[in-house]
Chains A and B, each alone.
Chain A
Amino acid sequence: DSGVTQTPKHLITATGQRVTLRCSPRSGDLSVYWYQQSLDQGLQFLIQYYNGEERAKGNILERFSAQQFPDLHSELNLSSLELGDSALYFCASSGDGTSYNEQFFGPGTRLTVL
């Protein structure tokens, strides 16, 4: 158990809908990262937050957004969902956001768009 929690574990929805994925980092970790894992693209970095502020952005679609709250939990919002958005979404957390900090992953949310 990494100490990172994600909810829900599974999510099934329809095209065009909007969903919210939630992540709670390990106690004391200030940084949260979101990754997408799909069969064709592998594990891809989406976005990083550090202590409530956006720190880095990857190939995140404009339909996707995220935020980190004062209690350090984070939410990833996916809107206007398409079939291709079906994937595993992981969050990871680390200590103070420096490039040397280990990232610990949550169990993921499996999103299925029908």
Chain B
Amino acid sequence: GENVEQHPSTLSVQEGDSAVIKCTYSDSASNYFPWYKQELGKGPQLIIDIRSNVGEKKDQRIAVTLNKTAKHFSLHITETQPEDSAVYFCAAALQGGKLIFGQGTELSVKP
């Protein structure tokens, strides 16, 4: 069935280091891959997304890569800051727009 696997479940980095979160999806029909950041007590916030006709997208310190053949996509955060600490979710969209989410990664950035 439809499934998105996300790793790692927790990630701790020093301020200024890079963080990488990886996801794998099962349905090859998926064609839209957003990433969300969720802070405590808040709703998920869309931070970047990528579509299937693009291999990489960058927005300041955040980048996402997509490998459609392998059905992998990854989030890269460079020069991490304490305010990047949150739970990050990847998702894959199937036809019609519903999102299938990964299990989440709790990122902790230590000053």
Contact = CB atoms under 8 A, between A and B. Distances in A.
Nearest to B6: A42
Interface stretch (B12-20, B66-74, B76-84, B97-105): B97-105
Contacts, number: 66
Given A42-B103, A42-B104, A104 B98 contact: no
A33 B36 CA distance: 16
A97 B97 CA distance: 6
Contacts of B51: 100
Given A42-B103, A43-B101, A105-B36, A99 B96 contact: yes
B106 to A, nearest CB: 12
B61 interface: no
Interface size class of B (residues with CB under 8 A): 20 to 34
A2 to B, nearest CB: 7
B57 to A, nearest CB: 13
Contacts of A98: 97
Interface of A: 2, 4, 31, 33, 35, 42-45, 48, 55-56, 58, 90, 94, 97-108
